Amino acid sequence: MNFTRHGIILFTSHYEGCVEFYTGTLGLAVMYTKDEPGSHLTCCALGDAYLMIEVGGPAPAARKSLEQNPTKLRFNVEDVEATAAELRAKGVAIEIETYSWGTIANFTDPDGNLCSLRDEASFH
């Protein structure tokens, strides 16, 4: 197989909030948007991949359980503590955890999807 591109499609019930979160709060660049009958989406650059945010996901009561969404969006960064501080300053609730294999910081998007930061230096 010769894959030419890879990405993640995130179906959400809080479309506008998630678009603002991933573009405004996390700073992902918008590649394109589509607002046509049957297709309402925003595609964002995510390193060498893309994150496509689309309408149609289940509405959460709060943070989605692993049964509701067994996926976590992971963003590797140079400095987890500094990036977590930036997100806290933007109003994101975030919890830092340190393990023998590295440091992560967990948070959720407006749709209750689990996200985390991961230190790049110890990623292998």
The pLDDT of residue 30: 98
The pLDDT of residue 24: 97
CB 53 within 8 A of CB 42: yes
- Domain ranges (residues) in the chain: 7-119
CB 54 within 8 A of CB 11: yes
**Ranges under pLDDT 50 in the chain:** none
The pLDDT of residue 61: 62
CB 61 within 8 A of CB 103: no
The pLDDT of residue 57: 78
The pLDDT of residue 56: 84
Give the class (CATH, top level) of 7-119.
alpha beta
Say if pTM beats, i.e. exceeds, 0.85.
yes
